Structure 1
Amino acid sequence: MTEFATKEGDTGSPEVQVALLSRRISDLTEHLKTHKHDHHSRRGLLLLVGQRRRLLQYLAKKDIQRFRALVERLGIRRGAAGAR
C-alpha cells in the first residue's frame, strides 16, 4: 500500500484506507463467488463497501483532485465511489 501513501509511514490517509478496503472487498467478493450461502461474510462485505463509500465521499468533499486520482488508480466506478 506504499503506492497510495502520501508520505513515509502513512497508514491513516483516506487513500491508504480506501486501498486497503478495496483489497478486502475484492477478496471477500471472490470468497462469496464460491460460498454463495455465507451470509455472515456477505454482511461484512456490505459494511466494508459502506465504509469505503463514506471515506470516498469525505475525500471528494475535501480534495476532489485526490479523489479523482484515487478512483482512477483503483478502477472504482463513480457510482460505487459515492460521489457525483
Structure 2
Amino acid sequence: MLQFAVATRMRPVADRWIWSYFVALTAEQKKEILSQYGLHETDTGSPEAQVALLTKRITDLTEHLKVHKHDHHSRRGLLLLVGRRRRLLKYVAQVDVERYRSLIERLGLRR
C-alpha cells in the first residue's frame, strides 16, 4: 500500500518530465524551422532540415544542462544528438561543399 501512495505522489513529476522531453519542439517550432531550412514546403527529410531541427534540440538541451548540471542522462542524449548532427553535416560536406558552407553559416555553427 505504501508503494502505491509513493507512486501516486510522484506521478505529476513524471508527467512533467515526459512532457518536457518528448515534446521538445512544438509543431509550430518545427514548421518554422522547416520553412527556413527545408528545400520546399513539405520537406522534412533533407539533411539541411534535419540538421536545423537537431541544432534547435541541441541548443534547448544545452540550456537545460546549464540549469541542471547533474543531469547525466540528458547529457548523454545531448552527446548522441551532437554525433547525429555531425554525421549529417559530414554527409552534406561530402555531397556538396557549397550547401555545407551555406548551412553552417545560416545556423551559426563553427568559426
TM-score, normalised by the number of residues in structure 2 = 0.69
Structure 2 match to 1:22: 55
Structure 2: segments with no counterpart, 5+ residues = 1-32
Which residue in 2 is equivalent to 1:82?
Answer: none
Number of corresponding residues: 78
For residues 36-47 of structure 1, the aligned pairs below 5 Å read: 36-47=69-80
Task: Report the counterpart of residue 87 of structure 2 in structure 1.
Answer: 54
Q: Which has the higher helix share?
A: 2
Deviation at 1:8, TM superposition (A): 1.8
Distance 1:17 1:70 in 2: 11
Higher relative contact order (CA 8 A, sep 6+): 1
RMSD value, Cα = 0.8
Counterpart selection for 1:5 from 22, 25, 38: 38
TM superposition outliers: structure 1 runs of 4+ over 3 Å: none
